[in-house]
A and B are shown apart, each in its own frame.
Chain A
Amino acid sequence: MIITGLLLLQAEKDFPDWGDTSSPANSYRLSQHYITQTLHETTVPNMVTAVLADYRGYDTMFETVVIFTAGIAIIGILSVIGTGGNREQFEPKLSEKKPDLIIDTTCRLIIPIIQVFALYVVAHGHHSPGGGFQGGVIFGASFILLALARNLQTAQAWVPENRILNLAGIGIFIYAGFGVAALFLGGNFLDYGVLTKILPGGVEDARSHSMLGVEIGVAFTVTAIMFSIYSSLASNGTMKEGI
């Protein structure tokens, strides 16, 4: 309670020196550079993606790792595979229902569209809002939708439980792979510029291609983990039944 009080106080202190809604700190050379130089240095029009995947690509790699960690952590906390059940006295009631006709049909129509849209979002991250995370979440959501509409086992027939983590790991390896490849070719970690030796096009194009590759890796990981988190949570660790 003392803490909350202290914080309310802090809130009041926020008075002076808060710029109004137009560019005080934005005039600093950092964002200027991003806005003006992105196209020239990376041939990618979407500045957010360029900053995310290239200038601050190291951050994004760890962001992907955060998601991966969450997936592993949830499995680690909840999983009861192999511990021989019998742990909970208060298992939430999981019921078995026949899939409802309306939901079923709707899902059959929508899920492929959602997935294609997800792929579009990933691929067009360079030119419109989008990118790996966004596309990955949408793709993962399509699987979750399937699991909600039918049941968890059907969804898992599509995305087998033990393969999910493989996909996630591959995603991160793709990302790190780009970085390590740069190491081997003589540059610093994640320096896409030196990848021109193995990718077609000039330095800037190499950056653009690498960004796409990296975003794909991110999308893999996010998709896999989204579904994995859902399976773990929905089935309380048993991975057999779902909601």
Chain B
Amino acid sequence: MELLEGIADRFNYWIYVILMMIGLFAMISKNNLIKKLIGMSIFQTAIILFYVSISYKEGATIPILYHDQVHGAHHEEASVTETAAHHDAEQVAHEASADVHAEASDHAEHAASSDHDDHAVSHEDHGSLEIDPDLFVNPLPHVLMLTAIVVGVATLGVGLAITQKLYGEFGTLEESEILEQIKSAK
């Protein structure tokens, strides 16, 4: 029972392992050149999924700060670096600006949230916001995987180019036939 629980907890990892095995198997044992490349693609995708799954936190959202947090920060920084009078002037200017609706509602939200002691945003002294890390998914693996996806695409492209050249020369995509042709041509 414990084993099953353990598996259930980490079922996502098991899936990735299975995907990787499928990809690896295709890469090594298939005869057709294109199928090998597809296997490579599957393999790399599995690794990418694995990384992304590391970054997941329960109940968290994507790693982009909320609109009100951003504007709260701007107002924060403005208010602590300038005098109070200037700050009021800014608020008035904001409210008088073209997108007055958005700003006004933003202000209302901001004021309301600050009243409610929202622990996502709190007033600090020197403009450094309290952003609760548990609310957001870990951004670092996402970044790493952007790079990995790009690399995978590039490798696939070069692989396809090589395959095309081989096809042009030998007229077949089966590795065994190509090897036979080379042997008989010797």
Contact = CB atoms under 8 A, between A and B. Distances in A.
Interface residues of A, number: 60
A103 interface: no
A70 B133 contact: no
A92 B172 CA distance: 11
Interface string A36-68: 111110010111100110001001100100110
Given A51-B140, A70-B154, A78-B165, A18 B64 contact: no
Interface residues of B, number: 58
A133 to B, nearest CB: 6
Nearest to A36: B131
Interface string B47-60: 00000011111100
A71 B57 CA distance: 37
Contacts of A233: 157, 160-161, 164
B54 to A, nearest CB: 7
B28 interface: yes
19 contacts: A4-B28, A14-B17, A15-B6, A21-B58, A23-B57, A23-B138, A35-B131, A46-B64, A59-B147, A67-B150, A67-B153, A67-B154, A70-B155, A88-B169, A129-B64, A133-B146, A233-B161, A236-B164, A236-B168
Interface of A: 1, 3-4, 7-8, 11, 14-15, 18, 20-23, 25-26, 30-32, 34-40, 43, 45-48, 51-52, 56, 59-60, 63, 66-67, 69-71, 73-74, 77-78, 87-92, 127-129, 133, 229, 232-233, 236-237
Interface of B: 6, 9-10, 12-13, 17, 20-21, 24-25, 28-29, 53-58, 62-66, 69-70, 73, 127-131, 133-134, 136, 138-140, 142-143, 146-147, 150-151, 153-155, 157-158, 160-162, 164-165, 167-171
